[in-house]
Amino acid sequence: MSNQKAFVPTMGALHDGHLSLIQIAKQYSSDVVVSVFVNPLQFESPTDLENYPRDVEGDTLKAQSAGATEIWTPTTAEIYPDEVSPISAGVIGELYEGANRNGHFDGVLTVVDRLFKHVQPTWAIFGEKDFQQLFIIRKWVKEMKLPIEVIAAPIIRDLDGLALSSRNVRLNKEDRKVALVISRALRQATHERSVETARDRLHDVLSSEPNFTVDYAEIINEESFAPATGSKRARALVAGWVNGVRLLDNMQMQTQVII
């Protein structure tokens, strides 16, 4: 077997979105490593960390059925055996997700660094749902000149349009109806012909649902992560709260030219 590994890092509570990452990993290597580790450094709230769903036995079975050849479930002591020196995610790490989640992306890069050093993959697969995370990891890998190719995997959605997330299990029937405003707003915004009208549409649709609390909603340039002005590569980002559950989603602009 080739020693070139494809790696899918996860925090567990695996769903079809995670399994799609494993299936993509199989296209790159017959040796697919999946890690399951709930990283305490990337949670802004001890309660959120405590409430994060965990099912190691179920995750192992799902990962194996999707084609993983190794499931690694390290302890916190294994990942952080000594004093932790966080890796800075820089200015972009302080925007959007990072603005209200102090140190979140520092925690992400710190754990990814530890995971990469252990697994030493040739390819690492990350989902586009956490688009800012994907952007920051790609930027860091490039800056550090790591011999790892970061592969982006498309968002997997349920039939009603809600992006799959481990947090969705905390939504009751009514909460889920509220949460659908996210994908509805993204879908409508990304079909607009200009950045300005896309932003307006995004905010208008989100504000139409009184039980959804917006954290942020923006149209960004995918290549710089700055607010889009006239980019052909623009993406709408949304994050917010539904009855105490924080959800995020994004969607690429569908029109060919943004003016």
Per-residue model confidence as pLDDT tens digits over 73-123? 999 999 999 999 999 999 999 999 999 888 999 999 999 999 999 999 999
Q: State which H helix or E strand residue 123 sits in.
A: strand 123-127
Does the pLDDT of residue 125 top 90, yes or no?
Answer: yes
- Boundaries of every domain in the chain: 6-153, 166-252
Structure confidence at residue 196 (pLDDT): 93
Read off the pLDDT band of 231 (50, 70, 90): low
Nearest-5° angle of CA 167, CA 171, CA 173?
150
Mean pLDDT to the nearest integer, 219-244: 92
Question: Closest Cα partner for 108 from 128, 134, 129?
Answer: 134
Question: Closest Cα partner for 152 from 143, 168, 166, 141?
Answer: 141
Read off the pLDDT band of 257 (50, 70, 90): very low
- 203 included as an active-site residue: no
Structure confidence at residue 206 (pLDDT): 98
CATH class of 166-252: alpha beta
Structure confidence at residue 31 (pLDDT): 98
Question: Closest Cα partner for 126 from 43, 53, 25?
Answer: 25
Least confident of 16-30, 40-54, 245-259: 245-259
- The residues pairing with 6 across neighbouring beta strands, listed in sequence order, are 32, 123
Beta strands 123-127; 70-72: pairing state: unpaired
Nearest-5° angle of CA 227, CA 232, CA 238?
40
Tokens (6 digits) for 10: 């996860």
What Cα–Cα distance (Å) separates residue 141 from each residue in 25, 83, 135, 137? Answer: 18, 23, 10, 6
Does the pLDDT of residue 54 top 50, yes or no?
Answer: yes
User: 15, 18, 104, 203: which is the annotated catalytic residue?
Assistant: 18
The rounded distance, in Å, linking the Cα atoms of 218 and 132 is 12
Does the pLDDT of residue 15 top 80, yes or no?
Answer: yes
Please count the residues of the chain. Answer: 259
CATH topology of domain 6-153: Rossmann fold (3.40.50)
The rounded distance, in Å, linking the Cα atoms of 11 and 39 is 7
**Cα 23 off chain centre by:** 17
Structure confidence at residue 255 (pLDDT): 61
